[in-house]
Chain A
């Protein structure tokens, strides 16, 4: 199928896997419960999962599991599970911890969306802690990519606190303890983090507090260096002592507002005090009999499910994985999902999103009928769902009871607005750039901007089966589609599904012609055939973090084992017990 199985690479791949295990084990110390698994079957029961050689090991465990973008965050979550906490406690602890250990992607200055599956009730809830527009935000011309005027009101603290209060069993001081420890003691800088700092070097240098943290010698921290953030440790301690109000009404709020006033930002004391996380009903769909529960508008779950509904009209399993026919069909479906998402999705508190129409099977059938299997649609327009309608880190946790959490958080761009609030260690988001000039995603005071995050939970046969998510900007939607299809259509193991080659296509807006971004290890014959069809194929790296860094856990329906995978494109790590 892919280069993953090439025998000439197998020794190198296994050496890399063993090295990765050794590195993670060294980070975690002697009490680590990391299990280096042989490649195992995901679907287990579901039997078709082939053994595959992967860069990262697939991990199995009997009780609980955390898959996140950093080993220390996964360890934080596992600490909670072992102490008797549930999947929500673990997710919140891991989310705070990853905000310290992956400062490029998430943190207290960011936002997110969480989907929680409650095993005993067989229901799910979404917690929307997306950032919101400050009341006084307005721009002449485009929204800046960096600086204080790019920052929206952060939602991370409110969202994680709400999740813990309503669905967790522990208190903030307990779940914050690992994050405080990591911030105070420091952690080893990975090559991925070094690359993120390097890519944003000039913008980081423009903000002295951020530069002091990430470029203490004037140059980017190199891989292997230790990054400590004592100011952030102090901020986290203040949260542990004062709860969410310490952030939105207390001393931290005052520091943020003072900085905004001094630097021309929009966020006021009232904006912070008014912010609240919102419980929403997740969107639901189905794919080949499997129930999909994903993040609702204003984010990307709807697009992922719509694309899968379109693909369901075709016999995907009969297509050779990563053949030209496979890639072309998915590209066409993705373009339609993106076109509809762009046209119809906005903050549901401000606009009516035709969710039912977009997710109806007749609508998917109509969209599928537009697709030719041997020809590219020149330009994909949004459909008309109303006819059928009455309407950037990710982590996953599973506990012993089968509760699941899928959570995706972000600062928008790496290091967000490239602003660190002096004395707090908090890096602020640049979410304001995600508003559109017009349409359902146009800027309004207090409105939440549209993004693509799509944490998703899969239920099979009435029981929780998988929790998945990925960062990756617009590629979140394509990557989530591929992950779910890899699991469901091709019966891949979770690690194999995560590592399989990725590609990305969307509607023409913002893309040139028939652009198709692919990982370079896609078979050469596929790239040649797609080019002949008229695609402008743009090969990226073999494993390119451009396509996100997915994490996922599945529950083997026969053995009940938790089986986890993490993405080698970033610093993903799975730990179970």
Chain B
């Protein structure tokens, strides 16, 4: 039992340290520029909340296209991808998960090809985890230039594990509003 506790503590401290380091790195290294495109990966209503947060409240003026296609990236400098699957949202858009994953994959490839920075954003907490949302997160985070996640959605440190593969910095915040502040700080 003691060994278990020690190991758990060590693992937790390691991941926490990595997150802090990554957070510092973000402030120093990740700079996002406009124009930017805001889209969804999974069609959850979180993308609408992010639109209100970033555009209405923080006045970032991102173009809003939940179902963005590669052609929508023309002239863009940044792609903000809001992560989280809603079965209802996919249904309303006439999509299933496979089609949505294919759309997002194509979008990420186009962004990479055009040198557009990608910001992965997860604000939905545990409600936007689970198998389908994890599929989307696993697709986007390793391809992103930075990930911002509200802590309730990263209790298992999945974002850190995925980000570690390509040294993607992860910013973990406590609240949605703090996620907005973190994103705003990256835009110059």
Bound-complex Cα distance A223 to B124 (A): 11
Can you name the residue of chain B whose Cβ is closest to the Cβ of A195? B127
- Interchain CB contact under 8 A, A218 and B131: no
Task: Establish whether residues A191 and B126, one from each chain, have CB atoms under 8 Å apart when the complex forms.
Answer: yes
B31: Cβ under 8 A from any A Cβ: no
B19-55 interface with A by 8 A CB criterion: 44-46, 48-49, 52-53
CA distance A195 to B150 in the complex (A): 14
Q: Could you tell me the distance in whole angstroms from the C-beta of B160 to the nearest C-beta in chain A?
A: 19
**How far, in whole Å, are A520 and B88 apart by their CA atoms in the complex?**
16
Within the complex, the shortest CB–CB distance from A138 to chain B, in Å, comes to 28
Q: Which residues of A contact B94 (CB under 8 A)?
A: none
With contact pairs A219-B176, A219-B177 given, residues A198 and B52 touching in the complex (Cβ less than 8 Å): no
Interface residues of A in 144-166 (CB under 8 A from B): none
Which residues from B are CB-within-8-Å of A195?
A: 124-125, 127
Residues of A within 8 A of B127 (CB): 191, 194-195, 198
Complex contact B175–A541 (CB within 8 A) = no
B56: chain A residues at CB < 8 Å are 218
Contacts of A201 in B (CB 8 A): 45, 48-49, 52
Q: Tell me the interface secondary structure of chain B in the complex.
A: helix
Question: A217-B177, A223-B152, A540-B87 are known contacts. Are A202 and B131 too (CB-CB below 8 A)?
Answer: no
Name the A residues within 8 Å of B44 (CB-CB): 198
Q: Given A218-B52, A218-B56, are A520 and B131 also a contact pair (CB < 8 Å)?
A: yes
Which A residue's beta carbon lies closest to that of B84? A198
Q: Inside 8 A of A200's CB, which chain B residues have their CB?
A: 45
A542 touches B130 (CB 8 A): yes
Q: Which residues of B contact A312 (CB under 8 A)?
A: none
Nearest chain A CB to B110 CB, angstrom units: 28
Asked whether, in the complex, the Cβ of B126 is within 8 Å of the Cβ of A198, the reply is no
Q: Is B57 an interface position by the 8 A CB rule?
A: yes
Q: Which residue of B lies closest to A196 (CB)?
A: B127
How far is the CB of B13 from the nearest CB of chain A, in Å?
A: 19
Residues of B contacting A540 in the complex (Cβ-Cβ under 8 angstroms): 87
| Best-surrounded residue of B127, B152, B177 (most CB of chain A within 10 A) | B127
**Interface readout for B97-110 with A: 1 if CB under 8 Å, 0 if not?**
00000000000000
Q: Which of B48, B88, B125 contacts A194, CB < 8 Å?
A: B125
Interface of chain B residues 49 through 88 with chain A (CB within 8 A) = 49, 52-53, 56-57, 86-88
> What separation, in Å, do the CA atoms of A191 and B152 have in the docked complex?
10
**A539 to B130 Cα, complex, angstroms:** 11
Report which of B49, B125, B131, B152 forms a contact with A219, defined as CB distance below 8 A.
Answer: B49
A433 → B minimal CB distance (Å): 16
For B45, the chain A residues whose CB sits under 8 A away are 198-202
Number of A-B contacts (CB under 8 A): 49
**A296 at interface by CB-CB < 8 Å:** no
A553–chain B nearest beta-carbon distance, Å: 28
Interface members, chain A 453-503 (any B CB < 8 Å): none
Q: Name the distance in Å between A218's Cβ and chain B's nearest Cβ.
A: 6
Q: Does A222 contact B (CB under 8 A)?
A: yes
Q: Is A301 an interface residue (CB 8 A)?
A: no
- B154 nearest CB across to chain A (Å): 14
A220 at the interface (CB under 8 A from B): yes
Residues of the A chain whose Cβ atoms lie less than 8 Å from the Cβ of B53:
219
Of chain B, the residue at the smallest CB distance from A543 is: B130
Residues of A within 8 A of B176 (CB): 219-220, 222
Closest to A203 in B: B45
User: A528 CB to closest chain B CB, in angstroms?
Assistant: 16
Specify which of B87, B125, B177 is in contact with A191 (CB 8 Å cutoff).
B125
Contact of B86 among A199, A219, A520 (CB under 8 A): A199
CB <8 Å contact, A218 and B57: yes
> A529 CB to closest chain B CB, in angstroms?
20
Q: Which A residues are in CB contact (< 8 Å) with B87?
A: 540
Give the distance to chain A from B125, nearest Cβ to Cβ, in Å.
6
**1/0 contact string of A162-206 vs chain B (CB within 8 Å):** 000000000000000000000000000001001100111110010
- Closest CB of chain A to B43's CB: distance in Å? 12
- B131:A223 contact, CB within 8 angstroms: no
Q: How far is the CA of A539 from the CA of B53 in the complex (A)?
A: 32
**Once the chains bind, are B124 and A198 in contact (CB under 8 Å)?**
yes
A-facing mask of B151-182, CB < 8 A → 1, else 0?
01000000000000000000000011100000
Report A285 CB to chain B, min CB distance, Å. 34
Measured CA separation A219–B175 after assembly (Å): 11
- Residues in B neighbouring A217, C-beta threshold 8 A: 177
* With A191-B126, A223-B125: A198-B152 Cβ-Cβ less than 8 Å: no
Q: What residues of chain B lie closer than 8 Å to A194, measured between beta carbons?
A: 125, 127
Could you mark each residue 527-548 of chain A with 1 if its beta carbon is under 8 Å from any beta carbon of chain B, else 0?
0000000000001111000000
Q: How far is A218 from B53 in the complex, measured between Cα atoms in Å? A: 8
Q: Mark A213-250, 1 if CB is under 8 A from B, else 0.
A: 00001111011000000000000000000000000000
CB distance from B90 to the nearest CB of A (A): 11
A541 to B88, CA, bound (A): 13
Complex Cα spacing A195 to B49, Å? 12
Bound complex: CA A539 to CA B127 (Å):
16
Instruction: Please indicate the chain A residues that have their CB under 8 angstroms from the CB of B131 in the complex.
Output: 520, 539, 541
B126 neighbours in A (Cβ, 8 Å): 191
User: Of all chain A residues, which has the CB nearest B96?
Assistant: A538
Measured CB to CB, the nearest residue on chain B to A205 is B52
By the criterion CB–CB under 8 Å, are A222 and B175 in contact? yes
Please determine whether B152 and A220 come into contact, CB atoms closer than 8 angstroms.
Answer: no
Question: Distance in Å from the Cβ of A343 to the closest Cβ of chain B?
Answer: 26
Residues in A neighbouring B130, C-beta threshold 8 A: 520, 541-542
B152 and A199 contact, CB distance less than 8 A: no
Instruction: Provide the residues of chain B in CB contact with A218, threshold 8 Å.
Output: 52, 56-57
Whole-angstrom CA separation of A520 from B53 in the bound complex: 33
Q: Which of B48, B57, B152, B177 contacts A202 (CB 8 A)?
A: B48
Kindly list chain B residues whose C-beta atoms are within 8 Å of the C-beta of A191.
125-127, 152
In contact, A198 and B177 (Cβ under 8 angstroms): no
For the complex with contacts A195-B127, A201-B52, A205-B52, 20 further pairs of A-B residues with Cβ separation under 8 Å are: A191-B125, A191-B152, A195-B125, A198-B44, A198-B124, A198-B127, A199-B86, A201-B45, A202-B48, A218-B52, A218-B57, A219-B52, A219-B53, A219-B57, A222-B175, A223-B152, A539-B131, A541-B130, A541-B131, A542-B130
Q: Measuring CB to CB, which residues of chain B are less than 8 angstroms from any residue of chain A?
A: 44-46, 48-49, 52-53, 56-57, 86-88, 124-127, 130-131, 152, 175-177
18 CB < 8 A contacts A-B: A191-B126, A195-B124, A195-B125, A198-B44, A198-B124, A198-B127, A200-B45, A201-B45, A201-B49, A217-B177, A220-B49, A220-B176, A222-B175, A223-B125, A520-B131, A541-B130, A541-B131, A542-B130
Give 7 closest A-B pairs by Cβ, nearest first.
A195-B127, A541-B130, A201-B45, A198-B45, A201-B48, A202-B48, A199-B45
